[in-house]
Amino acid sequence: MVRKVTIGGAQMGPIAPDESRDSCVARMIEMLREAASRGCDLVVFPELALTTFFPRYYEEDISRMDHWFETAMPNTATRPLFEAAAAAGIGFYLGYAELTPEGRRFNTSILVDGSGQITGKYRKIHLPGHSEFEPWRAFQHLEKRYFEPGDLGFGVWSQHAGLVGMAICNDRRWPETYRVMGLQGAELIVLGYNTPDTNTSEPEPNHLRMFHNHLVMQANAYMNACWVVGVAKAGVEDGCMLIGGSCIIQPSGEILARAATLEDELIVAVADLDACAAPRRGTFNLGRHRRVEHYGRIVRQAGIEIPADLSAAE
């Protein structure tokens, strides 16, 4: 059986701080309609696709940020999106801020199938930025303040006749993200991102933002012989420029489709999931080539530990 999935990357332009969820959902439904007309089976929306990137704002009392979070999914604002997708028989990935009944806060994504059922949930594990107000920064990046690290691990789900994994934004910069899903057979990894175009930690040549964005997704698609789809929230949000560059990457590591604008823009490519098979028989036959007896540090250590005999020699 041929396993080809027509994938739509639904990049979104800026979401203003005062833009309603209804407006965001209407924009997403518009792209869903275009996706249906272009034969898409699956549409990938960005990270935190229902609101502006609110971790750029500092709030002493984080409960005053609750209005940026969803307490149910689907809910009144998002149900029209679920219904439009189900009517078109299109599955989708959606990123949003999750506030659980127990009061826990996560940067979350869901995978929804063509009948509008949620098949999978992921909570962002790698949270970048900082947790306290840092006045020297042009703008804040307070994901460590407003979200907990995800507690669901990196999972894969069966959808569109393949194995689909999810990640969110900063996760894409860490090889462990892809490898843990690759070791579960993930053939397609989908993720959304909000990436400011300036590094507020230290001066960095601006072109590196886009270079690193594609480098990490291309390299890890290749190293795990899987498709990777990265979809941006882009453009100037409340004075902060977010990079675009949404893309659909094949297991060879080559970019098959890429966004050209910083606006709402649908990119489309046909993903042959069986393209993962050849590299998995050869170069990236993980079981045949990996030597896990030498990889212990990767799970024992979070940070760098210089071997005692070397640090003594310093």
Task: Report the number of secondary-structure helices (H) and strands (E) in the chain.
Answer: 9, 14
Task: Based on the residue annotation, tell me whether 169 is a catalytic residue of this protein.
Answer: yes
Query: Considering only 86-94, 96-104, 165-173, 179-187, which stretch makes contact with ligand ING by CB under 6 A?
Result: 165-173
Tokens of 129: 């930025």
Residue 62: count of CB within 10 angstroms of its CB: 14
Least spacing, CB of residue 208 vs ligand ING, in Å = 9
Specify the residue, 180 or 216, whose C-beta has the smaller distance to ligand ING: 216
Binding-site size, ligand ING (CB under 6 A): 7
Q: Is 175 in the site for ligand ING (CB under 6 A)?
A: no
Q: Is 177 in the site for ligand ING (CB under 6 A)?
A: no
How far is C-alpha 174 from the geometric centre of its chain's CA atoms?
12
Q: Is 195 in the site for ligand ING (CB under 6 A)?
A: yes
Q: Is 273 in the site for ligand ING (CB under 6 A)?
A: no
Q: What angle do CA 159, 163, 167 make, to 5 degrees?
A: 95
Task: Report how far apart the first and last C-alpha atoms of the chain are (Å, whole number).
Answer: 60
Query: Considering only 16-24, 77-85, 154-162, 192-200, which stretch makes contact with ligand ING by CB under 6 A?
Result: 192-200
Q: Is 173 in the site for ligand ING (CB under 6 A)?
A: yes
Selected catalytic residue, list 124, 237, 240, 265: 124
- For residues 155 and 165, is the Cβ–Cβ distance under 8 A? yes
Least spacing, CB of residue 127 vs ligand ING, in Å = 8
Out of 169, 191, 221, 262, the residue judged to bind ligand ING by CB under 6 A: 169
Q: Is 193 in the site for ligand ING (CB under 6 A)?
A: yes
> DSSP letters along 70-131, please?
BSSSS-TTTHHHHHHHHHHT-EEEEEEEEE-TTS-EEEEEEEE-TTS-EEEEEE-----S-S
Q: Is 21 in the site for ligand ING (CB under 6 A)?
A: no
94: β partners? 110
Q: Is 194 in the site for ligand ING (CB under 6 A)?
A: yes
237: β partners? 240
Selected catalytic residue, list 24, 40, 47, 240: 47
Where on the chain is the footprint of ligand ING (CB under 6 A)?
128, 169-170, 173, 193-195
